[in-house]
Amino acid sequence: MSASPKPNGKALSVLIVSTLAFTVCFMVWMMFGVIGIPIKKQLGLNATEFGLLTAMPVLTGSLIRVPLGIWTDKFGGRIVFFALMLSCVIPIWLMSYATAYWHFLTIGLFVGMAGGSFSVGTPYVARWFPKNRQGFAMGVFGAGNSGAAVNKFVAPALVVGFGWTMVPQVYAAVLLGTAILFWLFSATDDDHQVSSQSSFVSQLKALKDPKVLKYCQYYSIVFGGYVAMSLWMVQYYVGEYGLDIRVAALLAACFSLPGGVLRAIGGWLSDKHGAHNVTWWVLWVSWIVLFLLSYPQTDFSIQTVNGLKTFHVGLNVYVFTALMFALGIAWAFGKASVFKYISDDYHANIGTISGIVGLAGGLGGFVLPIMFGALMDLTGIRSSCFMLMYGVVWVSLIWMYWTEVRKTEMMGKNAPVSPISQSFAR
């Protein structure tokens, strides 16, 4: 496989058009985060049923990532990406004709294939750049996650102006146009393909690697959590603060937009400071922010010398949005740093490993909204979703400490360790 830098013009063209295509695919993938609200009202769904509705596209988009990554290694990203987008157009259009709950769940599975585009675009883009620029290139491509924010700007306007059925019709047309643009401005390099003698089973042996499993755990937070929160936040604002769907979507975009756009900065930071340092800081920031978000709206009374006094503790909409903004930034950096790990450790089969890690992240995005809904139905506490994420981050912090921070200290290596890591390793 050629590792030499490619001509700047062609590489940049591939990067730009691939990022555009991924942005549109992600916008489609997150569609239920907005149109799910009027559908929930129309069908009379509870929180768990709503969580399942929003999660169905995420399931397919996750399961298809491993085969898509392997096909990208074998056949090249251009043809796989183009075929994937075309295959999603008709299911998206048919969504506007669904009327029963099972219709939405079934069609949502086919629409979800658009979410697999990440495992195609990541290796496709990375191989057009030298290794010391791959973190940045994958970060720029990953900024297509901002399609979640684009969905929150576009879909509410369509819902209010024309009804929710207009959204899938417009999205189908946009995806078709994007597929044509992608084919016209992308390119193919046969040197980027892995030898066809590599079998499906042999590439999946990477699942036995403990490092791959660890990266899957990290990514289930920074990507799986991002997807789940992007799907959950609009209805959270509507229910918790009584906002109009357009205002709720706008505020929810304060999480989704930095969570996508700033991924490129995370790639640059990972190139400069290393994947470990960036990921370690991301997990600690997430732990602090999620702790604050977890506290529910609380009224309590205490007996004073002047009688009984009642106090209220809880986040208002402004503080809540600021914390979500900070969480979006942290997870944007984390998504890039996890894939910097992959490009450093698995350069020869980025497609396969990114597909496996992407699968784990996507499955997190599928399971978490359902768990959010179930927890809310069981406890009646909306912030229980943040309590769950807080616990998941705790697990990753402990895992990273024992496998990277503590191991480095005990082996006496001179590998670069972040200041926080050094303080915990003493």
Q: Which domains does the chain have, with CATH numbers?
A: 8-425 (1.20.1250.20)
More confident residue, 369 or 148: 369
Instruction: Give residue 407's pLDDT band: very low, low, confident or very high (50, 70, 90).
Output: low
> What is the structure's pLDDT at 415?
46
**Distance, CA of 151 to CA of 169 (rounded, Å):** 14
| Number of neighbours of residue 391 by Cβ within 10 angstroms | 11
Angle between helix 166-185 and helix 77-94 axes, rounded to 10 deg? 160
pLDDT at 3 over 50: no
Instruction: Give residue 43's pLDDT band: very low, low, confident or very high (50, 70, 90).
Output: very high
Instruction: Give residue 126's pLDDT band: very low, low, confident or very high (50, 70, 90).
Output: confident
Give 70-95 pLDDT, tens digit per residue: 788 788 889 999 999 999 999 999 99
**Residues forming beta bridges with residue 303, ordered by sequence position:** 308
| φ, ψ for residue 165, nearest 5 deg | -65, -20
Give 280-321 pLDDT, tens digit per residue: 899 999 999 999 999 888 888 898 888 888 888 888 999 999
Stretch 399-420: mean pLDDT? 62
| φ, ψ for residue 146, nearest 5 deg | -65, -5
Instruction: Give residue 199's pLDDT band: very low, low, confident or very high (50, 70, 90).
Output: low
pLDDT at 215 over 70: yes
**Residues forming beta bridges with residue 312, ordered by sequence position:** 299
Q: What's 302's DSSP letter?
A: E
Alpha carbons within 13 angstroms on the beta-carbon side of residue 198 total: 18
**pLDDT winner (highest mean) among 61-70, 245-254, 267-276, 399-408:** 245-254
Instruction: Give residue 5's pLDDT band: very low, low, confident or very high (50, 70, 90).
Output: very low
pLDDT at 394 over 50: yes
> What is the structure's pLDDT at 1?
40
Mean of pLDDT over the chain: 84
> What is the structure's pLDDT at 306?
84
Residues in the chain: 426
Give 134-164 pLDDT, tens digit per residue: 777 877 887 788 888 899 889 999 998 899 9
Sign (positive/negative) of CA torsion 69, 75, 79, 83? negative
Distances from the Cα of 285 to the Cα of 149, 274, 278, 331, 359, angstroms: 22, 17, 11, 9, 24
| Number of neighbours of residue 300 by Cβ within 10 angstroms | 9
**Distance, CA of 212 to CA of 407 (rounded, Å):** 17
More confident residue, 273 or 204: 273
Give 95-108 pLDDT, tens digit per residue: 999 999 999 999 99
Instruction: Give residue 348's pLDDT band: very low, low, confident or very high (50, 70, 90).
Output: low
